[in-house]
Amino acid sequence: MVVLEGLVVGLAMVVFIGPVFFTLLQTTLERGKSAGLSVALGIFMSDVLVSFLCYSGASLWLTTAEANNWTALVGSILLLGLAIKYLTIQPSMKVKSVSATGLVTSFVKGFLINFVNPFVFVVWIGVTTAMRAQYIHEEDHVLFLVPCLLGILFTDSIKVLSAHKLMRFFTQKHLQWIYRICGIVLVIFAIRMGYSVIQ
């Protein structure tokens, strides 16, 4: 029962559409499913770290006003840089080949975009707090968190594979619109993060 509940929570997180979703989409369309899956793995490892920090209580410092401001500032700059790239790049229908270095870069990009988003910490603090309230034993916590994290990895992988399959139905104009929309949405996220710093 614990395992099933953790898995359901992880799968339910598919409803959260943030910067990582658009990064997954753009990377997959531009560099193929291998790069997209590398981004998904980076997001997964970031969630593993954040969930551990929230569970262990180390997130108490990371969620202070000072730490939150720095995280939001770095996240805002990172998202703005990506947004400018998406808004100015000319998408190609030909998927670029990706090297081992490119896969590492995709992994790091997924990790950072997820980690510098303060909302991710808020979500995991909520999940771990609710988990502690429902389950007393530490082994139950592990049985809950592992399927939860794997559920997130599964849904992100499905997003990548779906985007890769749909690629054949896209035209150059469609890709250009997708890139522009991704850019605009990331600008909005960047502004929102930046605004939280100056409030």
pLDDT for 109 beyond 80:
yes
Q: Express as a percent the part of the chain with pLDDT over 70.
A: 75
Half-sphere exposure of 182 (CA within 13 A, CB side): 29
| DSSP at 137 | S
Domain count, the chain: 1
Taking the C-alpha atoms of residue 57 and residue 125, their distance in angstroms, rounded to an integer, is 9
pLDDT for 165 beyond 70:
yes
Cβ proximity of 54 and 121 under 8 Å? yes
- Asked which of 60-64, 115-119, 149-153 is least confident by mean pLDDT, the reply is 60-64
Residue 94's φ and ψ, nearest 5 degrees, are -90, 120
Q: What is the pLDDT of residues 179-193, one digit of tens each?
A: 777 778 777 777 776
> 115 vs 12, which has greater pLDDT?
115
- Asked which of 25-29, 52-56, 86-90 is least confident by mean pLDDT, the reply is 86-90
Taking the C-alpha atoms of residue 23 and residue 36, their distance in angstroms, rounded to an integer, is 8
Q: Which domain covers residue 121, as residue numbers?
A: 2-198
Q: Roughly how many angstroms between the first and final C-alpha of the chain, as a whole number?
A: 43
Cβ neighbours for 62, distance < 8 A, ≥ 6 positions apart: 53, 68, 71, 121
- Please state the separation of Cα 82 from the chain's center in Å: 14
pLDDT at position 99 is 73
Give how far Cα 6 sits from Cα of 12, 56, 103, 130, 134, Å: 10, 18, 29, 11, 12
Taking the C-alpha atoms of residue 103 and residue 101, their distance in angstroms, rounded to an integer, is 5
Taking the C-alpha atoms of residue 27 and residue 100, their distance in angstroms, rounded to an integer, is 15
Cβ proximity of 73 and 65 under 8 Å? no
Q: What is the pLDDT of residues 59-97, one digit of tens each?
A: 555 555 555 666 666 667 777 777 777 777 766 656 666
